[in-house]
Structure 1
């Protein structure tokens, strides 16, 4: 009986050793065929641009062609699930946006957003910009807070849709600043921005790319940025943190993930290649024009960012409804 048990243990250990050796060998040979990057949004947006830029640079660094596949739908969840369910061999990567961490509090996902992925690296980062119609009495963010506190529930903020990162950012500001803003959801950035321009709504948390031209032309007033630091494109616009809400930060970002179980050696190779690519001046210049900066960092740092934000929005959603009725 004891001999049989020992024999089974030895066989199990041998099998594990073979599997481990095979995994290491596969990682050493990677990449031996073309890769693909899944973009869970339509072509032409920020995620698509970054994926195609990274793909072009990694093709040279890794010696294999990289195909970008757009799979939009369900707020990015359709393409993301497709990427997450792919074989964990390092040949299918998925680009995700910061909305990825809000989605678990809005949708019933068919995968675990933390446990079912292997984070690789953040690519770019930037702020939402709190913009106001110039007719609003508040000229600065501090004046905006004072006005909101004096008229609870009267000031309105537009979003690109219920459950969006913009909606979550507005609700978090209300909670952290001790104010009450009235949420007005729209179907996309375009109509939300248009009604802020017309004065139908008071403020909007806009992407930098959409807001900067309007700010520079004087059609909108920038009150604050949601990142922890000011941005080079708008150096005179303060952060929310420095303007009276020290525990508030909602950065926008894009990053790469792979399916859970992808060999760590492969993850590190991709991470190193992307970090090298992010040193490119033409990429930095293109991002700067949109109010963004290269991000980079380790896979562990990106994993921490994802988990921290998933937990943040889950906690917020327990007190503020982020789902559509």
Structure 2
């Protein structure tokens, strides 16, 4: 009987030890299969291109395929909500720009596309910031924001393009309208490319866009950069003044992107991914490539992205309400 009790006791201890070790072992073997990065925008977009560049380098470090899966639709909310409902095992990640935070405030979302901006995801890392720039077609007759505002106040009908209603670009345009006391008409597009194409062609007078997508046109003089939406000038376009410098000190709107995982993803996995991605975006090759998109690396701990997301939620949420910004 004593021998039997001893065997049972040893067996119980072995089982307990096995259960205690299993989770640690599971984390130690991550990743054991391919990882999917969900991009909520079409192939060819800035977000998609940056995601693919990072996925390639992350795969080399993790010795597993890292696949970019595009799930566009409903202003990016379909892909965002897909990740919010995914298994929290580290094998489904979201790479997203900042409409992640504001889209639920301006869109009437179905239950399938809804998600909790502040509490439904685990922040992994903020990858980069992208300054917003106001550009004008040369035919408008305005080479600066004061000249543009003067034209609008004189009664000239002006328009500005954005990549979509409710986007940071739309918010920047309406915020400047209010601050300057003018009404420059918003023309929303479905994406950045068509908005840029139409301002280059002169079908719309001005546009709010990210810096990288118009750099070729500003360097050729086909578009005139009037102002940067960030709080300070961009090293990628140091000659372009900020709106704050031009007297609109409170009008500050930028763009950023980052990685999120479903809520409940183990912190060991989050830290592992954060460490690799921090090292990746410090690479001179990646820094140089990001610059072609008008982006500058940020990095840091997951808390950096969490704070950026929470601040944007508070500040942009108030603006969206005050400016009555909505999207169909």
Q: Report the 3-state secondary structure (helix = DSSP H, G, I; strand = E; otherwise coil) of the residue aligned with 1:118.
A: strand
Give the Cα–Cα distance (whole angstroms) in 1 for the partners of residues 99 and 149 of structure 2.
26
**Alignment match, 2:240:** 237
Question: Is the CA contact (8 Å cut-off) linking 2:50 and 2:290 kept in structure 1?
Answer: no
Give the Cα–Cα distance (whole angstroms) in 2 for the partners of residues 222 and 73 of structure 1.
30
**Alignment match, 1:54:** 54
The answer to whether structure 1 residue 114 and structure 2 residue 115 are counterparts is: no
Worse overlay, 270-279 or 244-253: 244-253
RMSD (CA atoms):
2.6
What is the CA-CA distance between 1:46 and the residue it aligns to? 1.6
The answer to whether structure 1 residue 167 and structure 2 residue 170 are counterparts is: yes
What is the CA-CA distance between 1:154 and the residue it aligns to? 4.2
Question: Is the CA contact (8 Å cut-off) linking 1:103 and 1:163 kept in structure 2?
Answer: yes
String of CA shifts for 1:121-176, please: whole Å, max 9, x gaps: 1112211210012233432234434544x347943222223222321221122334
Give the Cα–Cα distance (whole angstroms) in 1 for the partners of residues 231 and 183 of structure 2.
22
Question: Is the CA contact (8 Å cut-off) linking 1:153 and 1:181 kept in structure 2?
Answer: no
So what's the TM-score if we normalise by structure 1?
Answer: 0.85
What is the CA-CA distance between 1:64 and the residue it aligns to? 2.6
**Alignment match, 1:37:** 37
Closer, same or farther in 2 for the Cα pair 1:73/1:218, shift >3 Å? same
What is the CA-CA distance between 1:311 and the residue it aligns to? 2.1
**Alignment match, 2:84:** 84
Larger Rg: 2
Worse overlay, 48-57 or 296-305: 48-57
Closer, same or farther in 2 for the Cα pair 1:139/1:270, shift >3 Å? same
Q: Report the 3-state secondary structure (helix = DSSP H, G, I; strand = E; otherwise coil) of the residue aligned with 1:311.
A: helix
What is the CA-CA distance between 1:245 and the residue it aligns to? 1.9
The answer to whether structure 1 residue 223 and structure 2 residue 226 are counterparts is: yes
Aligned length: 308
* Residues 257-296 of structure 1: pairs in structure 2 closer than 5 A: 257-296=260-299
Q: Report the 3-state secondary structure (helix = DSSP H, G, I; strand = E; otherwise coil) of the residue aligned with 2:139.
A: coil
So what's the TM-score if we normalise by structure 2?
Answer: 0.84
The answer to whether structure 1 residue 132 and structure 2 residue 136 are counterparts is: yes
Give the Cα–Cα distance (whole angstroms) in 2 for the partners of residues 55 and 190 of structure 1.
23
> Which ranges of structure 1 fall in alignment gaps of 5 or more residues?
1-17
**Alignment match, 1:6:** none
> Which ranges of structure 2 fall in alignment gaps of 5 or more residues?
1-17
**Alignment match, 1:100:** 100
Worse overlay, 161-170 or 220-229: 161-170
String of CA shifts for 1:217-258, please: whole Å, max 9, x gaps: 111110011122322332211122222222232222221000
Closer, same or farther in 2 for the Cα pair 1:250/1:272, shift >3 Å? same
Worse overlay, 231-240 or 111-120: 231-240
